[in-house]
Amino acid sequence: MAAAIPFRQAHHSSSEQASHDPPHDLRLEQNHYIGIDVGTGSARACIINQNGDIVGLSSENIGLWQPQQTYYEQSTTDIWKCICVTVHRALSQAKIDSSTIRGIGFDATCSLAVFTHDTDEPVSVTGPDFHKSGNDHNVILWLDHRPVEETTKINATRHNLLRYVGGTMSIEMEIPKVLWLKNNMPKELFDRCKFYDLADALTHLATGNEKRSFCSVVCKQGYVPVGVDGSVKGWQQDFLKEIGLEDLTEDNFKRLGGVDGVNGEYLSAGELTGTLSEKAAAALGLNAGIAVGSGVIDAYAGWIGTVGAKFPLQDHELNADRPKNDQSQAFSRLAAVAGTSTCHLVMSQEPVFVNGVWGPYRDSIIPNYWMAEGGQSATGELLKHVLETHPAFNHATSMAESYKTNIYDFLNKHLRDMQMKVNAPSISYLGRHFFFYGDLFGNRSPIADPTMKGSVVGLSSDKSLDGMALYYYGAMEFIALQTKQIIGTMNEAGHKISSIFISGSQCQNDILMSLMATACEMPVFVPRYVHAAVVHGAAMLGAKAASAGKDGKTEDLWSIMDRMSKPGKMVRPTEVKGVTELLDVKYKVFLEQCDRQREFRRMVDEVTTGM
């Protein structure tokens, strides 16, 4: 086994305040709420006031260890320390009295956290000597791909619950990882383990209780809400026995969180899960007793932080009837939470089953409503890969630095310069004979095939900056066309998506946003807090928890989103002549590249089987 490799960097803080933040003296009179976002590489704290304005924002890089190739581990001890640092820093930045904090909400990656059920201590997930590893690396990260055999075994069952995860359970989900631990851990240690989604582990550390979120268990752990398809206890006993996890059915599934209303409690997003304990409060620099909301997976916090926004009308729309920004608007709004990869989330009143799309998931965000989750395995990572592997990368990086800009903005300007140089009608025209299919990291939706790869038609020997810019454009075009494919597949199955609400750093790429709007033939909405939409959504969970009355009932989540979401900007499909028609043709080629790759594989497999 290779030695564990820590990937910690020095901390950094950031601020992305609204242009109309209240003055300091008014902040002292307002209620405030904290959102905590734990991503793959960092923990972030966001403080908002009762109007939803961000008044403090900070981040801290968290540790990531890779003991073997495809193994990725973290530590809840380390994560909690980083959370505490970010909260202290955000409070200092906001210049508010900590006594004005009324609620806290958490979101995190869908990673598996392991503790002992008897002493509540972290359990190392680093094999083969789990109890001798001398570390508290008790989190198997979402992108960890160690349970290959376990995932295959689970999907071979063809169990009915797999309908609710797009037909197959992903290796990114948590049950395959739990099964891997059982297959590799000493029995006496596995028997002491209890299991959490990372967001639930954080609310546990904050409150000390064992309540779980529907978002975590329904979306990533094979939990089917009671009443759905005859589900009686949520956890599917026959499924767990069939895959070899019968141990977890004992004591009414206590080690997974129990049975709702018997020995466990499950909550939709932001519902009051408890209050901040004395121990947690002391570490965070806050008062004990602050309301803590039920957490969500990070992409779902992005949904909360974006789709409730109202956008300014265009001049020609000022006299038109505008639909009320009520919850029904959510059914037509796709949240695209873009980062290393991109998640595509949409809500529906009734369950909609889509091949290659995870879900439908009931209760994960709002009780009795359903969520579906599509995705692209690599978007930000794809752009990064295309640039870093091109011969002109070092030259482009040097040029970008000399202009004091990032490489993406530099290449966008270079594409515009290329367009002017040849008097091209559009940037898209430059790439008219370049056909890039970019599933270099497999396909999450709608093919749901992790073995998919990339392909290029129009390859040349050009090693210049122009050639690099063309490749970069091709990758952006691919991202836009695949988004069109995912939305089209979802709408054909019964969704009614007519707009895209995007978050993440890709929002700042105006060429990519225009390509996405034009290819998908619908507006793309960019939030006010481009880099903070996810953690802003987490803070809204804190506001919902703080609204709980004596009976525990909280304010409707959509009402909070409608009130606290900030106006952003709209990107419409381009009106430049010929671009829409060109992208329509390129989409036909895109689909052909996708289908032909699969056909080529079948043709070769027919003659190589048994070799």
pLDDT 10s digits, 125-137: 998 888 665 678 9
Q: What is the mean pLDDT of residues 506-527?
A: 96
Rounded Cα distance between 163 and 161, Å, is 5
Residue 536: CB partners within 8 Å, gap ≥ 6?
Answer: 35, 46, 48, 52, 54, 305, 527, 529
Average pLDDT rounded to a whole number, residues 298-317: 80
**pLDDT mean over 176-195:** 96
pLDDT band with cut points at 50, 70 and 90 for residue 168: confident
Given a cut of 50, is residue 17 above it in pLDDT?
Answer: no
Residue 1 has pLDDT above 80, yes or no: no
Three-class SS of residue 349? coil
Query: How much is the pLDDT for 28?
Result: 52
* Percent of the chain clearing pLDDT 90 (strictly above): 84
Nearest C-alpha neighbor of 430 from the set 388, 466, 463: 466
How far, CA to CA in Å, does 53 sit from each of 1, 236, 252?
48, 42, 43
Q: Give the per-residue pLDDT at 247.
A: 95
Q: Give the model confidence (pLDDT) of 475-489 as tens digits.
A: 999 999 999 999 999
Q: Report the alpha-carbon angle 415-421-424, nearest 5.
A: 75
In three-state form (DSSP H/G/I as H, E/B as E, the rest C), the secondary structure along 585-609 is HHHHHHHHHHHHHHHHHHHHHHHHC
pLDDT of residue 13: 40
* pLDDT tier at 198, thresholds 50, 70, 90: very high
Q: What is the pLDDT of residue 12?
A: 40
Please write down the HEC assignment for all residues of 198-247: HHHHHHHHHHCCCCEEHHHHHHHCCCCCCCHHHCCCCCCHHHHHHHCCHH
pLDDT of residue 450: 83
How much is the pLDDT for 317?
Answer: 47
Question: If pLDDT is split at 50, 70 and 90, which confidence band does 322 have?
Answer: low
Could you tell me if 325 and 365 are in contact, meaning their C-beta atoms sit under 8 angstroms apart? Answer: no
Non-local (6+) Cβ contacts of 45 within 8 A are 34, 35, 36, 56, 57, 58, 59, 83, 86, 87, 89, 90, 535
CA distance 232 to 574: 51
In this prediction, residue 489 carries a pLDDT of 97
pLDDT of 11 strictly over 70:
no
Are 109 and 198 in contact, with CB atoms under 8 Å apart? yes
Cis peptide before 446 (omega within 30 of 0): yes
What is the mean pLDDT of the segment spanning 181-202? 97
Structure token pair of residue 263: 């020995």
In the predicted model, what is the mean pLDDT of residues 291-301?
A: 97
Give the phi and the psi of residue 186 in degrees, each rounded to 5.
Answer: -60, 140
Report the sign of the C-alpha dihedral through residues 459, 465, 469, 472, in that order. Answer: positive
On average, the pLDDT of the chain sits at 92
Give the DSSP H/E element, type plus range, for residue 500: strand 499-503
Query: Looking at 5-9, 80-84, 254-258, which range is the least confident one?
Result: 5-9
**Token couple for 239:** 């499924």
pLDDT at site 132? 61
- Residue from 263, 294, 299, 303 nearest 142 by CA: 299
Q: State the pLDDT at residue 134.
A: 63
Can you say how many angstroms the Cα of residue 12 is from the centroid of all Cα atoms in its chain?
Answer: 22
Spatial CA neighbour of 573 closest among 526, 516, 491: 516
Q: Is 176 helix (H, G, I), strand (E, B) or coil?
A: helix
Q: What is the 3-state secondary structure (H, E, C) of 277-343?
A: CHHHHHHHCCCCCCEEECCEEHHHHHHHHHCCCCCCCCHHHCCCCCCCCCHHHHHHEEEEEECCCEE
Interval 100-106 mean pLDDT: 98
Task: Please tell me the predicted confidence (pLDDT) of residue 16.
Answer: 44
372-383: pLDDT as tens digits: 999 998 999 999
Please say if the pLDDT value at position 311 is more than 60: yes
For residue 7, pLDDT over 80 is answered with no
Instruction: For tokens 């909400």, name the residue.
Output: 105
Statement: residue 510 has pLDDT above 70: yes
Residue 421 above 50 pLDDT? yes
pLDDT at 585 over 50: yes
* pLDDT score of 152 more than 80: yes
Beta-strand relationship, 342-348 and 370-376: antiparallel
Q: Please, what is the end-to-end C-alpha distance for the chain in angstroms?
A: 32
Q: Of 329, 357, 262, which is closest to residue 501 (Cα–Cα)? A: 329
pLDDT digits (tens, 9 = 90+) for 44-102: 999 999 999 999 999 999 999 999 888 999 999 999 999 999 999 999 999 999 999 99
Whether 321 has a pLDDT exceeding 80, the answer reads no
Range with the poorest average pLDDT among 65-74, 128-137, 190-199, 257-266: 128-137
Q: What is the pLDDT of residue 8?
A: 37
- The answer to whether the CB of 397 falls within 8 A of the CB of 411 is no
